[in-house]
A and B are shown apart, each in its own frame.
Chain A
Amino acid sequence: MKYRKMSVKTVTVLILLLIAVSVSGCYDQREIDDLAYPLAVGLDIGEANILRMTLQLAAPLAIGGGGGGESGGGGGSSGTAETSSIITVDTPSIYSGLDMINNIVSKEINLSHAKVIVISRALAEKGIMEYIQAIQRGREFRPNMFILVSEDPPDEYLEHIKPILESNPSKYYELLLGKDYASFFEDMRMSDFHLASETDFREPTAILTGINKKESVDELAESGNKEYAGKLEGVYKPADIPIVSKQKNVVMGMAVFRNGRMVGTLNGVESKCFQMVTGRYEHSYWAFPDAYAPDKMVVMDILQRNRPSVKAVLKDGKALIDIMLDLEGDFTSIQSTYDYESYPDIMERKASEIIKNEITTMLKKTTDEFNSDICGFGRYVKGKFMTLEDWEKFNWPEHYSDTEFNVQVKMKIRRTGLIIRSMGHKD
């Protein structure tokens, strides 16, 4: 009997509580269609105020309207409708900007689907640490947002984002920037950037991007110099790359930061070397000049299966860093008649020589030009100290410019594609 009494009491109390709670309203409930979702955020130096913020808002009817089925008259099913709309505002800070935009746009801005943050070069050179902090503090921002530095102003850059192969710009960003078979830039995320900028053993980098304004192939000849011909394919800046396409934005290279300020750029090939040294390189194609016929080329698909082994030795306050890379190669094209498949070690040596030179050049650039430890060698030096005090006294960023590198590249050519031996062709 007592249980029936108890449950009447409990039930009544619960019902009263529920009524009290639901009468006071549900505070955070927001319908999906009451919110606007920016897919990309752009930051630039403002003229009317400190910061110029650009938002690329998704237009759901254009993107998802085809899926409505019989819901009459969704957005256009063809790609002619605008899939996003750009808003630019000059504001003292990011959140003030959101406030100002909320007074114009009909729906509340929700940043939880912003995939990309584009920072202009000018702002990056001035210093962006304050904005990175704000972004890390906000719960809505995705920690794996891509961070891009753009040579052109972000509002112009975002205007040019008109994806052809997708209907959804956010899918376009994820596919473009998140893939592992492209190597001219590193897949750099906001959380990574933030961590690297706070620690003293590593400096952050960002993806370099720009707009390629070429409209027709006649303009290709102007791009770059003739001396580029035959050279490796990555030595371009985004705006110079000799490509003509409807897609105007190009991602190539990396921006190097020191103490929250941008101090320089790495081009495509240098980014490849950077990824090899940090162990984040997957695979890509390198076109090497033939060892015996310098005007012909041997194209190989270079992969890195094992992480590089790095050893650091401290001698009189200078660090000596040994980097041992282990690469694999597959022949994809041998243009001359030489039988490299039977004697791969010739090309192995040549290729490792070339790669070693490129890497050493890149590392020298970081010590001499940038003075910024982007590869994170401080991690290995850190292990030489016993306590945090000693490490902080040593002050690694000051000593980075004295570092010497010793790079060794070991390459093994494993496969040759479908042809096991090229029988030569009439020359």
Chain B
Amino acid sequence: MSFVRNLLKKLLFFEEPDEQERFILKNGAASGNDRKMKQSIENELEHKKQEEGKEPEPGDAISADYETNLEYIKKVYSIPLNSDIVLREFHIIYGCRPVRAFIIFFDGMTNTEIINNYILKPLMVNTVMALKDIRQDLEDYVSRQLMPHCQVKIEKSYSKVIDGVNFGGCGLFVEGLSVSFSADVKGWDHRGIEKPNNEIVIRGPQEAFNEVLRTNSAQIRKRIKDEDLIVEDVMVGKVSKTPCSIMYIRDVVNERLVAEVRRRLKGLNVDYMLDAGVLEQLIEDSTIYPSPQVISTERPDYVSELLVNGRVAIIVNGSPNVLVVPTTAFDLMHSAEDIYIRYPYVNLLRGIRYFAAFLALLLPGLYLAITCYHHEMIPTDLLLAIEASREKVPFPSLVEILLMELSFELIREAGVRVPGPIGPTLGIIGALILGQAAVAANIVSPILIIIVALTGIGSFAIPNYSLAYSIRIMRFAFIFLGSMAGFLGITLGLFVFGIWSTSLKSFGVPFTAPFGPRTSGQFKDVIFKAPEWKQEGRPDYLNTKMDKKQAHYSMQWKINERIKKKQRRGR
């Protein structure tokens, strides 16, 4: 009841909107009038440094007493109820006396070879051998001499050690030391680097992301060998503590954008965040808008290209999809292959994609509008042919189209789950047979099969998977509008959708950017693509620090001596 009351109140009474300001990506540090923003990366550096040197909370500090540590760890990890946690107690010889110590790690998440050879062995065996006079501090001695492992951190608080152990680390507690050593010995089984499944290109690298965060960031880093490429770690999720990375190129990207991404990621008050898909829904601007507002891709080469243009990438551990923000409507029609193929083919393919999007969205609606309202537009031959074939069909056009569209969607969805080699064939053969059988049984007219098939094929030709989904949804709206009022209804649909699109922002960038607010700039890759040697400028709407990424005469081998002299003089 209160729900109904609230709904009525919302509808009938006006509420003052909140004072929240929507984020607009203004011109960045280059303008120089916002000192605070300018130093946001410096701020973040300071912030991180402080965090590292922070003193632990009172209840969280590691005590020097061995028994306390042991009891605490046993309690926290519910030993011996938890079967895959391993607690190994041993002795370290320090001076001439044995010092008690234990390590704690998860079986299955760690590489036990490394633990055996590079943690236990030196601690247990080498200390026997070192009979020299040891005046060093035990802590120093252990971390600097006894642990030949490349990633060891000294922690002062329990929570940090526990976080490390939870993610495949190994914690070492030594009697008498009020610090603990956390070594990163991750070693769980994971997928190797494989071919991309969903974004297949003919020419171009065939590597895709896998589920390990560091592998993914390394794949990007090995393509952009720039020291200014920053991989900033953020933990999202209070319980799952999923590590995510924000990647950006520091001297190109607009700092406000990075600050906004950071703000959105840190401002998530959730317990679990498990995948990039979940993260996308948590940080996007508009939930109900049909088209996606972030690019989600599984190809490292595509992410590198986008980063170079001044965008920010977010990698989530455990997900092979990487999110790149911000995006505009036209970017969703680009594919990873566009920079690898030549200028004539690229533009032909782009034209075909837009045509495919148009077909997938509007063809059934237009068919309904024309055959129900605008009969004079159809050539007479076609009209009489349609009429002859529709003579025996019992349903009106709208019902026919809905039937066929819904069955097509059904076949598609079913084809995803059928195992083995039957899967894809089921889709094609099912559609064909179903269509022909329906025509033979006089349930639908033959021209409808063509329409539905073209619509389906058009939606497959759209490069971005989520965008294809959204177009599939919206085409139903256009079917209804077309059957209600012909072309007027379709125009109304396009108008409402257009206004909704232009009011949308994706991380501060207007969604219809180069055409919505008219921005100038030399970015020549919006609808059709200029050749690669002409791609001088970065997109203007990203307000990057550096505008150009190519010289005006990028093909130096082509120009002759006269122009070279002019260039030299011009400098």
Contact = CB atoms under 8 A, between A and B. Distances in A.
B388 A112 contact: no
B389 A71 contact: yes
Given A64-B385, A113-B380, A70 B440 contact: yes
A425 interface: no
A103 B484 CA distance: 27
Contacts of A140: 376
A381 interface: no
A71 B448 CA distance: 13
Interface string A7-38: 11101110000000110001011111101010
A230 interface: no
Interface stretch (A55-63, A191-199, A236-244): A55-63
DSSP class of B's interface residues: helix, strand, loop or mixed? helix
A64 B287 CA distance: 49
B160 interface: no
Contacts of B440: 70-72
Contact of A21 (B446, B484, B486): B484
A137 interface: no
Given A3-B286, A5-B10, A28-B486, A70 B387 contact: no
Interface residues of A, number: 47
A35 B371 CA distance: 11
A37 B484 CA distance: 23
A26 B372 CA distance: 10
A11 to B, nearest CB: 8
A110 interface: yes
Scoring A4, A30, A33 by chain B CB atoms within 10 A of each residue's CB, the highest score goes to A33
Contacts of A9: 10-11
B388 A171 contact: no
B384 A5 contact: no
A65 B376 contact: no
B391 interface: yes
Contacts of B371: 31-32
Given A72-B440, A75-B388, A110-B375, A32 B383 contact: yes
Contact of A12 (B11, B390, B396, B484): B11
Given A31-B390, A64-B389, A67-B389, A113 B372 contact: no
B69 interface: no
Scoring B288, B380, B384, B393 by chain A CB atoms within 10 A of each residue's CB, the highest score goes to B384
Contacts of A6: 17
A58 B485 contact: no
B428 to A, nearest CB: 19
A142 interface: yes
Given A31-B390, A68-B446, A70-B440, A5 B15 contact: yes
Contacts of A13: 11
B375 A32 contact: yes
Given A26-B485, A31-B397, A37-B383, A113 B388 contact: no
Interface in A84-137: 110, 112-113, 115
B381 A171 contact: yes
Given A31-B390, A33-B391, A71-B446, A26 B483 contact: yes
B140 interface: no
B392 interface: yes
Contact of A70 (B11, B384, B436, B484): B436
Contacts of A3: 286
Contacts of B396: 31
Contacts of A183: none
A369 B7 CA distance: 83
B380 A171 contact: yes
Nearest to B387: A60
Nearest to A2: B17
A63 B381 CA distance: 9
Contact of A7 (B18, B288, B387, B388): B288
Contacts of A28: 372-373, 485-486
A74 interface: yes
A74 B10 contact: no
A383 interface: no
A1 interface: yes
B287 A4 contact: yes
Contacts of A39: 380
A107 to B, nearest CB: 10
A69 interface: yes
Interface string B467-494: 0000000000000100111100000000
Nearest to B477: A18
A165 to B, nearest CB: 14
A6 B390 CA distance: 44
B439 interface: yes
B174 to A, nearest CB: 51
A68 B440 CA distance: 9
B445 to A, nearest CB: 8
Interface string B197-216: 00000000000000000000
B386 interface: yes
A69 B445 CA distance: 10
A65 B381 CA distance: 12
Interface in B3-23: 7, 10-11, 15, 17-18, 20
Contacts of B387: 32-33, 35, 37, 60, 64
A142 B376 contact: yes
11 contacts: A2-B20, A5-B10, A8-B10, A9-B11, A30-B372, A31-B396, A32-B371, A60-B385, A64-B386, A68-B446, A115-B380
Nearest first, the 9 A-B pairs at minimum CB distance are A64-B388, A64-B385, A112-B376, A2-B17, A60-B387, A60-B388, A170-B380, A33-B390, A60-B384
Interface of B: 7, 10-11, 15, 17-18, 20, 286-288, 371-373, 375-376, 380-381, 383-393, 396-397, 436, 439-440, 442, 446, 480, 483-486
